[in-house]
Copies of this chain bind each other. A is one copy, B any other.
Amino acid sequence: MAVFPPSPPPEAAVPEPSPELLARATAVRRAATGLAQTSDAERRGALLAMADALEADREAILAANRADLEAAATDGLAAPLVARLKLDAAKLDGAIEGVRQVAALEDPLGRRQLHTELDDGLVLERLSVPLGVVGVIFEARPDALMQIASLAIRSGNGALLKGGREASRSCAAIHAALQRGLAASSVNPQALELLTSRAESLAMLKLDGLVDLIIPRGSNQMVRFIQDHTRIPVLGHADGICHLYVDAAADLEQALRLALDSKTQYPAACNAIETLLVHRSVAPAFLERAVPAFAAAGVELRGDPAACALGVPHAANHDDWATEYSDLILSVRVVDDLEQALEHIRRYGSRHTDAICTTDPLVADRFLAGVDSAGVFLNCSTRFADGFRYGFGAEVGISTQTLPPRGPVGLEGLLTYRYRLRGQGHIAADYAAGARAFTHRSLPL
């Protein structure tokens, strides 16, 4: 279509990949091509070898982490970030055990998802296969590198990995161990490549054709930036503005327990609630107990006028409804009915996870059908929206996009499929001419 002019030249914000980066990424892709064709046993063996190598390099990894921590202290890194950066012996052992657990997961590859006879002797299959190469940008958390690398190899994918710079020494030590482990297995160690500079992770955004998926783990701003500067698909999540609606027919004791857990069990998590919606008819009784309970838990409540009239100490302004606090702050609104609650969630929610507390099955069904979020929950905490809790064994991330993979994403986020068609000289012209007709018969999977 002539209406679409050619794309503008690449923006200066994202540098072109250097020849050296292109060569490394090409080597990862080549290794991934071989990895995709390995057996379940070979990939399992590779993960166990990775775990063994990490164990052998234990002291070197812990020493590298101590050096990272010293530099962080000099730089005055904030305490929560230091906690994430720190890799003590127990945490390292847990991460190594995690690698072995991923090895034990069922093979996700080669599963037949579709099996159809198109015509006599012409049979179609759809099989799960690896994506190819994933690019993961993660926070300054050394254990994340071990987890991501093991998920990538288990699912037959090469990976370009870039950790937060505060963890650079730890990541280098871990990466060296992982590659040494792979070298002792039948998987090419080049399948795992560590990027070490900001320029490299930016240039990765231009590696279309060599990288099939980018998984940014970090701030909303980072995810947005990446989405805006790459043609490569991005698995990430922007805001997590989750709601709990306390219905007229709620068990108020249960509602308070759910509200407290959903807010305080880990307030910085994306699946923590930011807003509580309370049905007008139960608002007085509920808030009478909830206001002191949240105060005792250190949570600042911000309410609409009706909520404030019932004891919520701070007034919410318009921005509050659209804010992911990621902190011990909760906005509270009194609503007239279910419809108003649904409208509020549609307007301000981020389609992440929203819950209702009610004993009325009809209201529950209307909520569960009417809220279009990745997770719609009844009478349980929003904090269950998590790959481990869902039983996926491991999580590559959480996606707030609407397209699959949506919500908590396990190994399947690193997979795609391939159609395999076997014939005996079948040509399309015969069907176009009516000489042959399709049977389209489902065969057993």
Contact = CB atoms under 8 A, between A and B. Distances in A.
Main secondary structure of the interface of A (DSSP, over half): mixed
B428 A383 contact: yes
B390 A225 contact: no
Contacts of A270: none
A402 B209 CA distance: 10
Nearest to A408: B419
Contacts of A429: 261, 265
Interface string A213-226: 10000110110111
Interface residues of A, number: 91
A377 interface: yes
Q: How many copies does the complex hold?
A: 2
A8 interface: yes
A10 B258 CA distance: 41
A266 B433 CA distance: 13
B118 A421 contact: no
Contacts of A129: 372
Contacts of A112: none
A118 B389 CA distance: 7
A2 to B, nearest CB: 9
Contacts of A164: 1
Interface string A113-149: 0001010001010000101100001000000000000
A37 interface: yes
Interface string A291-302: 000000000000
A318 interface: no
Contact of A37 (B226, B369, B379): B369
Given A377-B423, A417-B404, A33 B391 contact: no
Contacts of A266: 428
Interface string A32-45: 01001100000000
B1 A257 contact: no
Given A403-B131, A421-B384, A1 B374 contact: no
Interface in A194-234: 198, 201-202, 212-213, 218-219, 221-222, 224-228, 231, 233
A277 B425 CA distance: 17
Contact of A33 (B33, B228, B346, B438): B346
B380 A419 contact: no
B402 A213 contact: yes
A381 interface: yes
A424 interface: yes
A374 B198 contact: no
A44 to B, nearest CB: 19
Nearest to A386: B428
A416 interface: yes
Contacts of A221: 1, 4, 6
A4 B222 contact: yes
Contact of A118 (B131, B212, B384): B384
B212 A421 contact: no
A186 to B, nearest CB: 15
Contact of A225 (B7, B11, B13, B428): B7
A254 B425 contact: yes
A381 B258 contact: no
B421 A377 contact: yes
A210 B21 CA distance: 38
A222 B1 contact: yes
Q: Which of A228, A432, A440 neighbours the largest number of chain B CB atoms within 10 Å of its CB?
A: A228
A425 B258 contact: yes
12 contacts: A1-B164, A33-B370, A37-B369, A212-B402, A228-B231, A233-B401, A372-B418, A376-B421, A381-B427, A384-B426, A384-B428, A385-B421
Given A3-B202, A4-B221, A406-B416, 14 more contacts: A1-B164, A1-B218, A3-B198, A4-B226, A7-B225, A8-B13, A233-B233, A251-B425, A254-B425, A258-B425, A266-B428, A376-B419, A380-B421, A407-B419
